[in-house]
A and B are shown apart, each in its own frame.
Chain A
Amino acid sequence: MKQKAVILNTKDNVATALAELKAGDTLELEVGEETKEVRLTTDIPFGHKFSLSKIEPDSPVIKYGEIIGVSTATIKPGDYVHIHNVVSRRGRGDLGGGDK
Chain B
Amino acid sequence: MSFLGYRRQNGSVGTRNYIGIISTVTCANDVTWWISQQVKGCAPFLHDQGCSQTQPDLDQVTRTLISLGWNPNLAGVLVVSLGCESVSVDEIAEGIAESGKPVEKIVIQKVGGAISALSQGAKLARDMAVEASKTKREEFSDSELVLGVKCGASDTTSGLTSNPAAGATCDLLIDKGGTCIFGETTEFMGAEHILTRRAATPQVANKIMDIVARMEKRATAMGFDMRGGQPTAGNIAGGLTTIEEKSLGAIVKGGTKPIKEVYEYGERPQGKGLFIVDTPGREPEFLTALGAAGAQVIIFSTGLGAPQGFPFIPVIKVTGNPITYERLPVHIDVFIELAEKVGSNIAQAGESLYQEVMAVASGKQTKAEIINYGNFPNIFTVGPVI
Binding site for B on A (CB under 8 A): 1-3, 6, 8, 16-18, 45-49, 61, 63-64, 66-69, 81-83, 86-95, 97-98, 100
Q: A66 to B190, Cβ gap below 8 A?
A: yes
Residues of B within 8 A of A46 (CB): 156, 239, 323
**A88–B249 CA distance with the chains assembled, in angstroms:** 15
Q: Name the 10 nearest CB pairs between A and B, nearest first.
A: A47-B156, A47-B239, A93-B220, A88-B242, A68-B245, A91-B226, A69-B242, A48-B239, A94-B225, A98-B216
Additional pairs, 14, CB under 8 Å, beyond known A47-B303, A49-B239, A68-B242: A16-B156, A47-B157, A47-B238, A61-B241, A83-B227, A86-B241, A86-B242, A89-B242, A91-B227, A93-B223, A94-B225, A95-B225, A98-B216, A98-B217
B241→A49 contact, CB < 8 A: yes
Within 8 A of A (CB), among B187-229: 189-191, 194, 213, 216-217, 219-227
Question: Residues on B close to A: CB < 8 A?
Answer: 155-157, 159-160, 186, 189-191, 194, 213, 216-217, 219-227, 230, 236, 238-239, 241-245, 248-249, 303, 321, 323, 338, 340-342
For the complex, what is the distance from the CA of A69 to the CA of B231, rounded to whole Å? 13
Say yes or no: A66-B248 contact (C-beta < 8 A), given A90-B216, A91-B216, A93-B225: yes
Nearest CB in chain A: distance from B36 CB, A? 38
Rounded to whole angstroms, the CA-CA distance of A2 and B344 in the bound complex is: 12
A87 and B242 in contact, given A18-B338, A93-B220 (Cβ under 8 angstroms): yes
Residue of A with least CB distance to B230: A91
Nearest B residue to A18, CB-CB: B338
Q: Residue of B at shortest CB range from A92? A: B225
Chain B CB count within 10 A is highest, among A61, A64, A69, A90, for: A90
Query: Would A69 and B157 count as touching, CB distance under 8 A?
Result: no
A92 to B238, CA, bound (A): 22
CA distance A98 to B236 in the complex (A): 20
Q: Which chain B residues border A87 with CB–CB below 8 Å?
A: 242
Q: Across the interface, do A83 and B241 meet the contact criterion of CB distance under 8 Å?
A: yes
Give the complex CA separation of A81 and B241 in angstroms: 8
Query: What is the CB-to-nearest-CB distance from B28 to chain A, in angstroms, rounded to a whole number?
Result: 36
Q: Which of A1, A46, A86 has the most CB of B within 10 A?
A: A46
Contact call A97/B220, Cβ cutoff below 8 A: yes
Report yes or no: B340 in contact with A92, Cβ–Cβ below 8 A.
no
A45 CA / B157 CA spacing, docked (Å): 13
- Can you list 26 A-B pairs, Cβ within 8 angstroms, ordered by A? A3-B341, A3-B342, A6-B160, A8-B342, A16-B156, A16-B239, A18-B338, A47-B155, A49-B241, A66-B190, A66-B194, A67-B244, A69-B241, A83-B241, A88-B227, A88-B244, A89-B242, A90-B216, A90-B242, A91-B220, A92-B225, A93-B221, A93-B222, A95-B225, A98-B220, A100-B213
Check A68/B244 contact, CB under 8 A, given A1-B340, A48-B239. Answer: yes
Chain A residues closer than 8 Å to B224, beta-carbon distance = 93-94
Q: Is the CB of A90 within 8 A of B239?
A: no
Which listed residue, A6, A17, A47, A91, touches B219 by the CB 8 Å rule?
Answer: A91
A57 to B243: give the CA distance in the assembly, Å.
Answer: 20
- Known contacts: A6-B342, A18-B342. The answer to whether A64 contacts B241 by CB under 8 A is no
In the complex, what residues of B have CB within 8 A of residue A66's CB?
190-191, 194, 244, 248
CA distance A61 to B189 in the complex (A): 16
**Residue of A6, A8, A93 with most partner-chain B CB within 10 A:** A93
Contact in complex: A48, B216 (CB < 8 Å): no
A97 to B248, CA, bound (A): 21
Which partner residue on chain A sits nearest B338 by CB separation?
A: A18
Give the distance in Å from the alpha carbon of A42 to the alpha carbon of B148 in the complex.
Answer: 41
A6 to B221, CA, bound (A): 37
B194 CB to nearest A CB, Å: 8
For B190, what are the chain A residues with a Cβ–Cβ distance below 8 Å? 66-68, 88-90
Of all chain A residues, the one with the shortest Cβ separation from B189 is: A90
B248:A68 contact, CB within 8 angstroms: yes
Q: How far is the CA of A16 from the CA of B224 in the complex (A)?
A: 29
Residues of A within 8 A of B155 (CB): 47
Q: Chain A nearest CB: distance from B219 CB in Å?
A: 5
Give the residue among A45, A46, A68 with the most B Cβ atoms within 10 A: A68
Closest A residue to B228 using CB positions? A83
Residues in chain A near residue B342, CB distance under 8 A: 3, 6, 8, 18
